[in-house]
Amino acid sequence: MDCPHIPDLRYGDFSKRLRDRLGGQRVPITGSLELTFRCNLRCVHCYVAHGHSGIAGQRELTAGEISSILDQAVDEGCLWLLLTGGEPLLRPDFQEIYLSCKKKGLILTLFTNGTLLTPQIADLLAEWRPFAVEVTLYGRTQETYERITGIPGSHARCLRGIDQLLQRGIPLRLKTMLMTLNKHEVWDIKAFAEGLGVQYRFDPMMNGGLQDLAPLAYRLSPEDVVALDLADEGRSREWRAFCDRFRGVRADPHRLFICGAGHSSFHVDPYGQLSPCLIARHLEFDLRQGSFHAGWHQFLAQVRALEPGPGYACAQCELLPLCGQCPGWAMLEGGNREKPVEFLCQIAHLRANAFGWYRDAENTPGATERIPISQADPLQSAVEENQ
């Protein structure tokens, strides 16, 4: 019997068609899994407290437990999965876990610092190709990179890892967490990535750590964040398109979580704690004690139904879709999931001015009269500095 021909479909079309078909249904199509909190680097901004006995001493999920959890997640509709850490390649059973994920049909993205990539692991990735491997490059120079990572020789090992991926044609993306220590090298890193022919992105949106707020000592100012948006043609174009699309759209004031966390996505930490996302860890369900089905359909459904209390400052803010206020972020920085994060508020106002969002800001907490970007000092100074 002749088999029917199944036509090829571009990935972007497939992804959009699937999400459109799901509509407003609660289906966990996207997940992230931290394989470990352990890392071979000691980055100054890391959200995990290195060596903290309350974290490092806990027992990580076994490969078998991970396989069982993911089987359950796949049964509920999971298709995309991010493997991250810590540094996931530190696990001696990484290859077993990775191969198990691939054989389940999951579309995998791997986050790694690249320094532990061996020819054997690279060969596995070449044979069982991920959707993407994202390697964090903290600096173009050894001095900047290792000032952040705290480990001599790590810069060279990262570059060797990148080379191994390129040699095998593995889908590679480079990225940088931008901070005060490496902001000056961002365009050199971008040029390096473009020279390699790989995608590149940078992220200046640094939040507090799981144990303390120490990472914030290296966070860029709101003015620097928006100046970088304006200085990068791609980011500027994306933000203008976002503003054109969502200007005038009001977020649901009766929901605390307005993103996809717990609606179409989930996160699992190294010890089996299920949460809406990587940041909102104050809301957890133990997958060692209960099933993924129960965690998704009962626990996370209740999380999604959470309503803010009276006086929630963000409820009537027209900039909320632009702002990115997050209950998890608010808990990390202020211990109150309904308290606006001032850093995010300031960035929202600056972006609204920069990208023409405003109609009026009467309902925006802390709103001030908007001014042309050319007069927005110190933003204008930051723009000139970052060009």
Which residues, at least 6 apart from 87, have a Cβ–Cβ distance to it below 8 Å? Answer: 36, 38, 39, 40, 41, 112, 113, 115, 116
pLDDT in tens, 54-92: 455 468 999 999 999 999 999 999 999 999 999 999 999
Q: What is the pLDDT of residue 2?
A: 58
Distance CA 167, CA 270 (A): 31
How far is the CA of 38 from the CAs of 24, 41, 88, in angstroms? 37, 9, 8
pLDDT beyond 70 at 217: yes
Q: What percentage of the chain reaches a pLDDT higher than 70?
A: 87
Whether the Cβ atoms of residue 283 and residue 295 lie closer than 8 Å to each other: no
**7 φ/ψ angles, rounded to the nearest 5 degrees:** -70, 150
pLDDT score of 51: 46
Please check the confidence at residue 317 and state whether its pLDDT lies above 90.
no
- Taken in order of first residue, the domains within the chain and their CATH numbers are 25-220+257-304 (3.20.20.70), 238-256+310-387 (no CATH)
